[in-house]
Amino acid sequence: MLQGIQDMGSQAMDLYNYLIAGFDPRISSYPLMQNPVPMSIILLCYLFFVLHLGPRFMANRNPFQLKEAMIVYNFFLVALSIYIVYEFLMSGWATTYTWRCDPIDTSNSPEALRMVHVAWVFWFSKIIELMDTIFFVLRKKHGQITFLHIFHHSFMPWTWWWGVNYAPGGMGSFHAMVNSTVHIIMYFYYGLSAAGPRFQKFLWWKKHMTAIQLTQFVLISIHATQWYFMSSCGYQFPVFIHLVWIYGTLFFVLFSNFWIQAYVKGKRLPKQGMKNQNGTAVHTNGKHLENGSKHRKYVTSDGFIHENGTSNGHSTSNSSAHYDNGKMKRA
């Protein structure tokens, strides 16, 4: 039995060494790219904090007020996403790529190295975006920490780490460019939302955010589907085309389910008699007391919680929606 365990360990090490040997040598000098251990530790720590340590730490504490930090964070990600999209365009998608079968340029040309760089920046932006959930935990917005949210924030950086190491560029990078384009819109929206009620008039497109997310997954899946109908294609790592197609389709299904639950079935409604995160009762007549201020909440056909009064010290109008870290708090 001991010999069998040793043989399995040896085979596992052989597989690990084989996987490492296939990495693109141009990416080896970038931080956290030498082996999957540091990246995996970061994601495991993220999951441990979000699912256990953070809620336990906040159990007997009041929610942190992080308005300024969230504004800076969201607009920083807007700027970073703009940079990423521009670099993807300039390193291939707006210059030499055909938007169909585009192999990875494995040379050391300036354009190829530029693509390697932006591929790494895109991956690292996914690590930065883990702060989305950290803000939820510290502000005790537990309702926003869904399976979809955690799966999206942990699964994508883990898979993209392998993608960057093997295939920094080519047709497999299309979904990264599209995702960053969506994030320009998304984090701009979150930043304005976090800035307070006076910016609500600029958020008329709030109901379209989920539709924008769904559109990106359709585009990603359509682009990847081309590969299956090509007579020949020189893209070096078809496995990533399969993963991208699965990714686009899976997240389309998950976000569609969210859309149906939130907008069609209206199941994300506040329960009668429930308590808010500060322990204040919400009565069946819609009135409640939050941080000492009276509120009236009501749900409109768009699926958002509208309120009259103040929320955590910030005044809102009758037609304004309630937001968590800039994300709409749907009914």
- The residues annotated with a catalytic role in the active site are 152
Is residue 316 within 8 Å of residue 309, measured between CB atoms?
yes
Structure tokens at 60: 């007997």
DSSP 192-238: HHHT-GGGGGG-TTGGGHHHHHHHHHHHHHHHHHGGGG-S----S-H
DSSP annotation of 260 reads: I
Is residue 250 within 8 Å of residue 221, measured between CB atoms?
no
DSSP annotation of 302 reads: T
Q: Count the neighbouring beta carbons within 10 Å of the beta carbon of residue 264.
A: 9
Residue 76's identity, in one-letter code, is F
Q: What is the largest CA-CA distance in the chain?
A: 72
CA–CA distance, 104 with 112 (Å, rounded to integer): 8
Give one word for 266, left, alpha or beta, with left for phi > 0 and alpha for psi -120 to 50: left
CA–CA distance, 86 with 82 (Å, rounded to integer): 6
